[in-house]
Amino acid sequence: MRHEEIIKKLKSMANPKNVAGMARFGIRPASKILGISIWELRKLKKDIGTDHALAQKLWATGVHEARILASFIEDPMKVTEKQLDRWVSDFDSWDIVDQVSQLIAHTPHVIKKIKEWSKRDEEFIKRTAFSLIAELAWWEKKMTDRDFEKFFQIIKKASTDERNYVKKAVNWALRNIGKRNKTLNKRAIQVAKEIQSANRRTNSKSARWIAADAIRELTGEKVQKRLLIRSTK
């Protein structure tokens, strides 16, 4: 399919009611938004397949859903660092961060970009770094416990960022690391306690919430039972 055909198709699927609903969940991108569900975009992805050149053209349209679809059809092995830096500079909502992170996490540049973007000040770029950690912690099998322990320092450093979309991603990253196995569970809980301890000096509402929420979930019966089952396999 040509990108003109896809854009025409996307516009025909526009749903103003969904746009209003998405806004209630904080999805208010500066780019053009059509109100198409992720489920519908994934159906289109199956029809299109993988296409690097087409992904570039769809991203360049500036249409919110076209950009998400671009990340679905992109070939992660063909993505360059320059492309990632260009795309991330266009991020303007939490949902595009989290959807495109699924692509970035499969590129060869992911670890480098986590380190770089965690130091950036822009809210959605910084969120991307921690969204990527959460992604890797959830499914990446080749990374070791030591690999994930290297992320704890940047998690602690970012825990005082009071911006909503950053603090939620920092919390998400810490919780997902703590759900990988019993060893990382104990370490993540310890890191959360270290954040609490440091917060006696910083008095950060963000750090207090990140630590308390992570401890609550990671020490909870549901997570502990899952980790026990996983450790016996």
**Each residue's pLDDT tens digit, 84-120:** 999 999 999 999 999 999 999 999 999 999 999 999 9
Chain segment 65-84, per-residue pLDDT in tens: 999 999 999 999 999 999 99
Residue 148: the pLDDT is: 98
199 vs 7, higher pLDDT: 7
Residue 31: the pLDDT is: 82
Residue 199: the pLDDT is: 84
Domain boundaries, the chain: 1-79, 109-233
Q: Residue 29: what are its φ and ψ, rounded to 5°?
A: -65, 155
pTM higher than 0.85: yes
Residue 144: the pLDDT is: 97
Provide the 8-state DSSP code for 31: S
Q: In this structure, what token pair is assigned to residue 206?
A: 């963000």
> Vertex 126, ends 123 and 127: CA angle to 5°?
80
Amino acid identity of 167?
K
Chain segment 165-212, per-residue pLDDT in tens: 999 999 999 999 999 999 999 999 999 999 999 888 888 999 999 999
143 forms bridges with which residues in the sheet?
none
- Mapped onto helix, strand or coil, the DSSP state of residue 63 is strand
Q: Helix 81-88 and helix 110-117: axis angle, to 10°?
A: 40
Residues with Cβ < 8 Å from 63, sequence gap 6 or more? 7, 10, 31, 32, 33, 34
Provide the 8-state DSSP code for 76: G
Confidence of residue 1 (pLDDT cuts 50, 70, 90): low
Positive or negative, the Cα torsion across 19, 132, 216, 158? negative
Q: How far apart are CA 155 and CA 141, in angstroms?
A: 21
Fold of 109-233: 1.25.40
Positive or negative, the Cα torsion across 209, 212, 217, 221? negative
Chain segment 15-68, per-residue pLDDT in tens: 999 999 998 888 888 889 999 999 999 999 999 999 999 999 999 999 999 999
